[in-house]
Amino acid sequence: MISIEQLTKVYGHGDKATVVLDRLDFRVDAGEIFAVVGPSGAGKSTLAQCVNLLERPTSGSVLVNGENLSQLGERQLRAARRRIGTIFQSDGLYSRRTAAQNVALPLEYLGVTTAEAKRRVAELLDRVGLSDRAGHYPHQLSGGQRQRVGIARALALRPQVLLSDEATSGLDPESTASIVSLLKELRDDLDLSILFITHEMDTVLQVADAVARLDHGHIVESGRIVDLLRDPASALGRALRPARPHATPQLGETHWFVSYTSGAVPADWVLRLASELDAPVSVLGASIETVAGQTVGHASIGVRAVDPALLIETARRLGLDARPVPEDPEAAALADRSAEESSRTSDGGRSTSADASAPAAAGDTAPAASISSTAPALERVV
């Protein structure tokens, strides 16, 4: 387990001081993958350097299994760093060393015997699926294979924490999916705490159990992935699954954006909504998928002549949050009250939130030919 407590990093002094990280707090439990996302300049790279103590924090603590690494002297710190394996954005392999020789490098520095190092390297290359590439040089490997060698090297000293600093950036989708699958396998098999720093939202959905958004050195929002995706007020949830282009509502229809707030949303919710409203419901666009074994999603719908309060309440009973597009203040207030009522009957969502901005409804409209959807059907329901 790794715990970050009130972590602060300041560069410069006096009037020229720049606060890059400001009192960060989060914890990554054993067997958990915790992602940190944020725009360029948010402080992600500095966070990575402070976590593995390549940069000393100005104040605050980095604790691994209860031991405060940030208070250790240089000699003790060199030994303690073995508990944190790091995977870098560039694989950092030595071009004149084979895959096996690159993996063996930390073991050589530690003075491990040749026989033991050879056994450990073979074990690691087998774990990352590269036993048959042990004698290959970096230029003979694909980008994904080189990153796998980097992961094997990060595991050489049996760390308890794995720090992934933009490890999938620059990889093609197939290689990214392969690395994500490997990290999840390592989390489960070795009970690792994995801190996954990235700017790739799609990758976060694939790999992380929880996520925090870093902005200007502050964690502005964090929580479990599914909780964020089901919270209509979550800016981070919307960034993880932004609304896609949708068809234009027909004449006489009002445009609504609905999002899943529960795991109990029935598969035929469109039919049920139309039946209970006694009004036609058109699906203009939708994105529905399974994340961490839970169904999440949102949809744009068109509805003819219906009382907004009735639609909002009916949607709530189906496990959905419904909001008009463009947002009508009165209807939005009804939706907020409905969401608050739903949250009081659930276990809650975000573990941390400093962003209370209203949700963007569904993006700009697009012609029907531009529909982008993963929903089973995009058809008019009466």
How confident is the model over 152-165, as a mean pLDDT? 94
Residue 138: pLDDT over 90: yes
Write out pLDDT tens, residues 358-367: 344 444 433 3
Residues 330, 312: Cα–Cα separation, whole Å: 12
How would you classify residue 85: left for phi > 0, otherwise alpha for psi between -120 and 50, otherwise beta?
Answer: beta
Confidence bin at 347 (pLDDT 50/70/90) = low
Residues 207, 205: Cα–Cα separation, whole Å: 6
| C-alpha 370 chain-centroid distance | 28
Residue 356: pLDDT over 50: no
Selected residue with higher pLDDT from 341 and 77: 77
Q: What is the pLDDT of residue 365?
A: 39
Give the length of the chain: 382
Write out pLDDT tens, residues 42-60: 999 999 999 988 899 999 9
User: What is the CA angle 29-80-121, rounded to 5?
Assistant: 85
Which residue has 């039946």 as its token pair? 275
Confidence bin at 11 (pLDDT 50/70/90) = very high
User: What is the CA angle 74-76-78, rounded to 5?
Assistant: 70
Stretch among 92-106, 307-321, 344-358, 362-376 having the lowest mean pLDDT: 362-376
Q: What is the pLDDT of residue 330?
A: 61
Residues 249, 303: Cα–Cα separation, whole Å: 8
User: Which residues, 6+ apart, have CB-to-CB distance to 54 below 8 Å?
Assistant: none
How confident is the model over 104-120, as a mean pLDDT? 93
What are the φ and ψ backbone dihedral angles of 351, each rounded to 5 degrees? -80, -25
What are the φ and ψ backbone dihedral angles of 198, each rounded to 5 degrees? -160, 165
Residues 240, 250: Cα–Cα separation, whole Å: 29
Q: What is the pLDDT of residue 332?
A: 58
Confidence bin at 85 (pLDDT 50/70/90) = very high
Fill in the amino acid letter for 367: P
How confident is the model over 199-205, as a mean pLDDT? 92
Average pLDDT value for the chain: 86
Write out pLDDT tens, residues 224-243: 999 999 999 999 999 998 88
Q: What is the pLDDT of residue 341?
A: 66
Domain coordinates in residue numbering, the chain: 2-230, 244-324
3-state secondary structure of 179: helix
Handedness of CA 100, 103, 106, 112 (dihedral sign): negative
Q: At the top level of CATH, which class does the domain 244-324 belong to?
A: alpha beta
Selected residue with higher pLDDT from 17 and 337: 17
Selected residue with higher pLDDT from 357 and 158: 158
Identify whether the C-beta of residue 252 lies closer than 8 Å to the C-beta of residue 259.
Answer: no
Residue 21: pLDDT over 60: yes
Stretch among 58-72, 106-120, 228-242, 338-352 having the lowest mean pLDDT: 338-352
- The β-bridge relationship of strands 18-28 and 2-11 is antiparallel
Write out pLDDT tens, residues 291-313: 988 999 999 999 998 899 999 99
Please name the fold of domain 2-230: Rossmann fold (3.40.50)
